[in-house]
Every structure is written in C-alpha cells, then in structure tokens.
Amino acid sequence: MTTLEIVTTIEAAARLDELLWVVLWQPLGLPRDIRRTFRLEGEKFEWLAQEHGQAVGGLVAVSSGDAEIELRHLAVAAHAQRRGIGRRLVTELCRIAQTKNCRRIHTIARHTSSQFFKKLGFQTAPGQAPIHPLFLQHGITFELMERFIEHDT
C-alpha cells in the first residue's frame, strides 16, 4: 500500500531529495545536491509517497503569490510508475490549493509528461517555455501548463 506523507523531518527531506535526484537529474549527469541551487520563495509544499518504507514518489510545490501554486518537481520511481502514485500526489496538491483558495496551479512540464498532466485537468498555458541547453542535449523540451482550481460558491 502506498502512503503519502507531508515532508516535515530531515530524514523525509533526504529521502525526497534522493528520489528526485535518481528520477529527474541523475540521468542527466546533474550533481546530487542540485535541488539546493533551486530557489523557492513562498510557502513550500512537499510530499513523499512510500511503500514498505521506500520512497516511490515525491512532489515539491511552492506558493507563487497571487493565489497561485507552482508545481516545481514531481517524480515517481520507474518501478512504481503507472500505478496512480503521481495522480495521487497531484490530486493532493489540488486539494490543498482549494483549501487555500488558490485559483491556479502551474508548472513547467517536460514534454514527456504533458499528456499525464492533461489527463489531470491541466492545459497548455500561454507564454514561452524555457529552453535549457542541458536538457536539450537529452532531447527534453518543456511546456507551460496550468490548471484552474474550482471553488464552491
């Protein structure tokens, strides 16, 4: 059974960092501590999905002001993909966004994950996605995506 845990301890943060590195950045040759170089300003939201004490998924988001949340990182271990873990993590973020009266969640999605986000109600957002030469070397491009949060009236 997969459990979702809010990251509140140094140990859980270390497990999340390791998972993000293994899934997202190690294949590109980026250093293990790469996440420390990313700037997050605003209220941070971090979850870790675990099975039998092992990290299998993780999500990092930050309140980006103006009643918006930016989904910064989403990763699911290769052996745990296609089992709804990523969906659960994003659904939990949407639930939190609704309770905080956020109107929009936005992300810069790798082209390989844009269909996943579309299945969860995201759409292509206006604007130009960033171009990262290191990612381009690996054939990775990006798409700006957003999901508007519905609120009961």
Give me the CATH number covering residue 127. 3.40.630.30
pLDDT given for residue 67 in this prediction: 92
pLDDT given for residue 150 in this prediction: 85
Q: Residue 123 belongs to what domain range?
A: 2-148
Among residues 84, 73, 68, 75, the alpha carbon closest in space to that of 125 is found at 68
Who contacts 2 (Cβ-Cβ below 8 Å, separation ≥6)?
49, 50, 51, 56, 57, 80, 83, 85, 88
Q: What is the pLDDT of residues 130-149, one digit of tens each?
A: 999 989 999 999 999 999 99
Inside any domain, residue 130: yes
Q: What is the pLDDT of residues 22-67, one digit of tens each?
A: 999 999 999 998 888 887 788 999 999 999 999 999 999 999 778 9
pLDDT given for residue 66 in this prediction: 80
Who contacts 118 (Cβ-Cβ below 8 Å, separation ≥6)?
145
Which one is predicted more confidently, 128 or 40? 128
Inside any domain, residue 89: yes
Secondary structure letter of residue 82 according to DSSP? T
pTM: 0.93
* pLDDT at residue 69 tops 70: yes
CA 5/CA 45 separation, integer angstroms: 11
Inside any domain, residue 153: no
Q: Return the amino acid letter for 151.
A: H
Inside any domain, residue 63: yes
What is the domain count for the chain? Answer: 1
* pLDDT at residue 153 tops 70: no
What percent of the chain is predicted at pLDDT more than 70? 99
Task: Assign 78 a pLDDT band (cuts: 50, 70, 90).
Answer: very high
Contact criterion met (CB below 8 Å) for 130 and 108: yes
Span 83-89, average pLDDT: 98
- In this structure, how many other beta carbons lie within 10 angstroms of the beta carbon of residue 127? 10
Inside any domain, residue 64: yes
- In this structure, how many other beta carbons lie within 10 angstroms of the beta carbon of residue 61? 27
